[in-house]
Amino acid sequence: MNHTQLGRSELRVGRLALGGNVFGWTADERTSFAVLDAFVAAGMNLIDTADAYSRWIPGHRGGESETIIGNWLASRGNRARLVIATKVGVEMGPGEQGLSRQYILRAVERSLQRLRTDYIDLYQSHRDDEQTPQEETLEAYAQLIREGKVRVIGASNFTAARLGAALALSREKSLPRYESLQPWYNLYDRSAFESELAEFCRREQLGVISYFSLASGFLSGKYRTQQDLDGRPRAYRVKDMMTERGMRILAALDAASRELNATPARVSLAWLIARGVTAPIASATSVAQLNDLVAGVQLVLPAELVRKLDAASGVP
């Protein structure tokens, strides 16, 4: 599997990022271990998680995903081969959120403990914190990099304006720069990223690690009727996509899938690679799903199929 440089950093990552949001949620530890083993066996190395996964589940406190990944790392002894990415900033409890220096320094120790490692390869600001000066945030990251606890930093859910301001500060103050952006981006949800951020990332040489790469499973083609949503944990996200436009996108994916003898999920991931994404994030709750995702980032879409998928999505 080909690897690519993440931004201007020395990190090299595979073309697929394994989403850890399902670990401890829809995938128990045993299943998570099997998926992680298959991911590494396929030649991949970038595992993305966050301290807040999966705090949204009743009874969960956050840190469930990091804990499972940490247990797996300890049992496999393969830490040096992997790029572990996690995030900070989303609320973990009363007063435990944001990107202040004090909070980042507390949160990173908890993530390191759960991950059972002494360093994080890619530490990401999970979402912007306009209440904290960006210089304070970057200075906290600088301290962590000096201490060897973090190698590279990234941003998630930032606007082009705020990301640009952060990069300007990094240049002016000789502070660490964000080397990647994690945006919400897929064949269904295009405009927010493509309007400004796509060109910005190209110009600034930032890696792009898209999340919701399969639109919560909608682009896999498994949700086509209301009955398909019954009992599904992500139904609340997918139901709004089941529109005329959504069905048009699925029809285009079906046509491309037939032409390439591939699944819609594979085609959707290949489209992201064709559009310049460094490593789309996708999660799997079985080894079979994982193998399908890996095949997607190995698939090369002909330019004509990319144009047809672009047109079907209704975005110029």
Q: Which residues are catalytic?
A: 53
Which run of H or E residues covers position 152? strand 150-156
Please give the Cα distance from 285 to 263 (Å, whole number).
17
CA nearest to 288, candidates 14, 12, 27: 27
Q: Work out whether the CA dihedral 71, 74, 79, 82 comes out positive or negative.
A: negative
E strand residue ranges, 34-112: 46-48, 83-88
Q: What share of residues in the chain are helix, strand, coil (percent, to 5)?
A: 50, 15, 35
Residue position matching structure tokens 């399969």 = 214
93: Cβ contacts below 8 Å, ≥ 6 apart? 61, 62
CB atoms within 10 A of CB 67: 19
Q: In the structure encoding, which two tokens stand for residue 47, read together?
A: 């595992």
Please give the Cα distance from 69 to 126 (Å, whole number).
18
